[in-house]
Amino acid sequence: MSHHTIDLANVKQIIAQIVAEHDIKSVAFVGCGASSSELYPGYYFLRDAAKQLRPFHYTASEFNQDTPAWVDETALVITCSLGGTTPETIEANHTAKTHGATVVAVTHAAGSALTEEADFTIVHGFEANYAAKIEKMGYVIALAVEVLNQTEGYEHYDAMIDGFDKIFDLAQAAAVSAQGGMAKQFAEQFKDDEVVYYMSSGASLDVAYSSSICLMMEMQWINSGSFHSGEYFHGPFEITDKDVPFVLLMNDGKTRKADARALTFLQRFDAKVAVVDAKDYALSGAIDGSVVTYFNPMLHTAVFRTYAEALADARSHPLTVRRYMWKLEY
């Protein structure tokens, strides 16, 4: 297998140039839908590890409509859009620039509208394989790691860099191994369900969110909701029953206990549950324990993509079919 990675030297150089010219105090991750969810792990990393930087995560319309007071030349705004055409996110670049902030756009589409007002652009892969599909998330986390390390310093920097060297091949192998077996099994078991809930925790929280609002609601027209495994016991668990299906993205990291507690309860009431467990793919065997928590969303995204593809096949409902998107002005 060829070695898959991302251009970390470029990320390092971009951040070096930014911090040489600006006293960065706030870092905002701004996007919509799946892109918003792929920004979350970068936000999570800074929320967890930074002691001085001020991290924020916004859906783009809110950033534009209620622009926070701190958006000025001390702010770094990281925006994300796969096709580079999301209107609210393009507007977020403009909002940020109008207030003097620095913008890094992460997109698959070089030269797209998202790149026009951005100070820096990072172009990521997508089509090649499952590793390519998580490049976007990888670049976002790498930007977070670099800005932390180059401002206040970060104790586990080397472990993160080592993790980036391993996660893409690991996630690709995991996705391929899931593809034939677990993914097909999931598709057969869940293809007729009318509602499916998603849970996770830690850095993977928004993988549950995007699996719910994008893969289920948008791409399969299946009813869905998502929440943190730790919140399950404070409301959602009352809906638990044999015929209520759940997908649990289990973390191999600091918040595993929250996921495991939810699983124990689901199993106790014989609920229908599909588990994508990062431990099954030996995430913590490959990546240092000091940083493994942050790599879960990349693994979960790659593996669950194969589940969604298998479900789409089993339901004869391709992931690319839309009722409204691409067809209407709204």
Q: What distance in Å separates the CA atoms of residue 258 and residue 164, rounded to the nearest whole number?
A: 26
Nearer to a copy of itself, 128 or 195 (CB): 195
Nearer to a copy of itself, 16 or 195 (CB): 195
Site for a copy of itself in 283-302 (CB under 8 A): 293
Residue of the chain from 12, 166, 191, 254 that contacts a copy of itself (CB under 8 A):
254
Interaction of residue 195 with a copy of itself, rule CB under 8 A: yes
Return the CA Rg of the chain.
Answer: 19
Q: How far is the CB of 2 from a copy of itself (least distance, A)?
A: 33
3-state secondary structure 257-300: HHHHHHHHHHHHCCCCEEEEEHHHHCHHHHCCCCCHHHHHHHHH
Residue of the chain from 65, 98, 267, 290 that contacts a copy of itself (CB under 8 A):
65
Q: How far is the CB of 267 from a copy of itself (least distance, A)?
A: 12
Q: Select the span of 8-16, 168-176, 259-267, 296-304 touching a copy of itself (CB under 8 A).
A: 259-267
Q: What distance in Å separates the CA atoms of residue 190 and residue 184, rounded to the nearest whole number?
A: 10
Q: How far is the CB of 294 from a copy of itself (least distance, A)?
A: 10
Interaction of residue 86 with a copy of itself, rule CB under 8 A: yes
Residue of the chain from 188, 233, 285, 290 that contacts a copy of itself (CB under 8 A):
233
Tokens standing for 17?
Answer: 């140039």
Residue of the chain from 7, 8, 19, 61 that contacts a copy of itself (CB under 8 A):
61
Q: How far is the CB of 65 from a copy of itself (least distance, A)?
A: 5
Q: Select the span of 27-35, 167-175, 271-279, 283-291 touching a copy of itself (CB under 8 A).
A: 27-35
From residue 222, give the alpha-carbon distance in Å to each of 101, 242, 276, 290.
39, 18, 19, 38
Interaction of residue 201 with a copy of itself, rule CB under 8 A: yes
CB 308 within 8 A of CB 319: yes
Interaction of residue 279 with a copy of itself, rule CB under 8 A: no
Interaction of residue 125 with a copy of itself, rule CB under 8 A: no
Residue of the chain from 17, 21, 62, 192 that contacts a copy of itself (CB under 8 A):
62
Strand partners, 200: 228
Q: What distance in Å separates the CA atoms of residue 208 and residue 268, rounded to the nearest whole number?
A: 22
Nearest 5°: CA angle at 104, between 98 and 108?
A: 125
CB 8 within 8 A of CB 150: no
Residue of the chain from 15, 30, 34, 76 that contacts a copy of itself (CB under 8 A):
34
Please report how the helices 296-314 and 135-151 are oriented relative to each other, as an axis angle in degrees rounded to 10.
170
Interaction of residue 221 with a copy of itself, rule CB under 8 A: yes
Interaction of residue 224 with a copy of itself, rule CB under 8 A: yes
Interaction of residue 36 with a copy of itself, rule CB under 8 A: yes
Count CA within 13 A, CB hemisphere, residue 222.
Answer: 28
Residue 128 CB partners (closer than 8 Å, separation 6+): none
CB 83 within 8 A of CB 136: no
Q: What distance in Å separates the CA atoms of residue 38 and residue 60, rounded to the nearest whole number?
A: 13
Tokens standing for 123?
Answer: 């172009």
Interaction of residue 50 with a copy of itself, rule CB under 8 A: yes
Q: Which residues sit at the interface with a copy of itself, rule CB under 8 A?
A: 32-36, 47-51, 54, 56, 59-62, 65-66, 68-70, 86, 88, 194-195, 201-202, 210, 212-214, 217-219, 221, 223-231, 233-240, 244, 253-255, 257-258, 261, 264-265, 268, 293, 322-325, 330
